[in-house]
Amino acid sequence: MSDVTRWLREIEEGEGKATDELLPLVYEELRGLAAYYLTRERPGQTLQATALVHEAYLRLVGSEEPRWNGSRQFFAAAAEAMRRILIDTSRRKNSVKQGGELERVDLTELHLAKVPPTEALLALDEALDRLAASDPESAEVVRLRFFAGLTESQTAEVMGLSRRTVSRSWAYARAWLYRELEKS
């Protein structure tokens, strides 16, 4: 059993000291994941990788009933927590109170006409929620593959499915999401 898995089990058993011991073990991997997510955000993003890691970690270990059957599920949950934080941040920034109806224009990029990544992320999140309503398994495959960065084999292991089933669900979900995003 790895150290991460051991500390995760102790957290599940209510051992308070375990949360302090787990962070140093997973910090670098979580920070790398956070940095990866933040590179996909709009330039000028004020949220930093360190803050994203800490917020996600607090959500994970502070939840009422943490349930992880190993480090892969923990990292998948961490990726989902980071995705939720980024989406919440995007929604907050796009709110009218925060000037969401206004668009910041950088004079050096005035000639560019592109959809900001924040809007694309929100559209993807809404489409993913619609997919989850009709096909929860395929939606979970997308979350693990796209947001957690797991391979097909790792996704199959976490979900308890065959790699071929994950491959089919991944292909279906990508086509479904592409069609949905084209409609918007």
Task: Say if residue 1's pLDDT is above 60.
Answer: no
Specify the pLDDT at position 54: 81
Pick from 51-55, 89-93, 154-158, 166-170: least confident:
89-93
| 59 C-beta neighbours (distance < 10 Å), count | 16
Q: Please, what's the largest Cα pairwise distance for the chain?
A: 57
Pick from 75-79, 110-114, 179-183: least confident:
110-114
| Residue 172, burial from CB neighbour count under 10 angstroms (0-12, 13-18, 19+) | middle
Considering only CA atoms, give the Rg of the chain.
Answer: 18
| 44 C-beta neighbours (distance < 10 Å), count | 7
Residue 72 to residue 145: CA distance in whole angstroms: 12
Average pLDDT rounded to a whole number, residues 127-135: 94
Specify the pLDDT at position 69: 67
| Residue 108, burial from CB neighbour count under 10 angstroms (0-12, 13-18, 19+) | exposed
Across the chain, what does the average pLDDT equal?
A: 77
Q: Considering only residues 11 and 109, tell me which one the structure prediction assigns the higher pLDDT.
A: 11
Average pLDDT rounded to a whole number, residues 142-150: 85
Segment 85-102, tens digit of pLDDT: 888 887 777 665 555 555
Residue 108 to residue 24: CA distance in whole angstroms: 41
Reported as a pLDDT band with limits 50, 70 and 90, residue 24 is confident
In Å, what is the CA distance from 155 to each residue of 6, 36, 125, 147?
21, 19, 20, 12
